[in-house]
Structure 1
């Protein structure tokens, strides 16, 4: 987990604490129930960890896709080079065969 993600997690949990505490005070709910505040903090904390986890998995997937893309590009280039070499070889054989045919035809 990156430092940025940790900071966001802390900010989310702190804001959940303040929000729930002030919300309960606003409706004159006395005494302020710490279980409600704790539950909201845990809920927001787990949601933020879940979002961070999803982000990390998406990043890993993106890295794998990029690696496969690079591999495919290299394979396509090498295949293209091999095909070009074989086509040149075949063209040379065809040229030689035509030359031999023309030579035999006119001699």
Structure 2
């Protein structure tokens, strides 16, 4: 987990604490209920961790896709080189065969 993710997690939990504390204090005249505040903080904290987890999984998938893309490009270049070599060999054989045919024809 990156430092940035940790900072966002802390900010989300602290803002959920302040929001729930002020909200409960505004609409009730009793002392605020710490259980509600704690549950809101846990809810927001787990939400933040879940978002970070999803982000990490997406990053892993992106890295795997990039690796496969690089592998595919290398394989395509390899195949292209092999096909080009074979075509050159075949072209050379055909040229030799035509030369031999023409040589026999005129001699």
Q: What TM bracket, shorter-length normalisation?
A: over 0.9
Corresponding residue for residue 17 of structure 1: 17
Q: Which runs of 5+ in 1 are unaligned?
A: none
Corresponding residue for residue 68 of structure 1: 68
TM-score when scaled to structure 2? 0.98
Distance 1:20 1:26 in 2: 10
Distance 1:80 1:2 in 2: 42
| C-alpha deviation, 1:49, in angstroms | 0.1
Corresponding residue for residue 103 of structure 2: 103
- Over 3 Å counting, the alpha-carbon distance change for 1:29 and 1:103 in structure 2 is farther
| C-alpha deviation, 1:28, in angstroms | 2.0
1:27 correspondence with 2:14 = no
Q: Which runs of 5+ in 2 are unaligned?
A: none
| C-alpha deviation, 1:73, in angstroms | 0.5
- Alignment length (residue pairs): 107
Aligned-residue RMSD, C-alpha: 0.7
Corresponding residue for residue 57 of structure 2: 57
| C-alpha deviation, 1:31, in angstroms | 1.8
* Segments ≥4 residues shifted beyond 3 Å: none
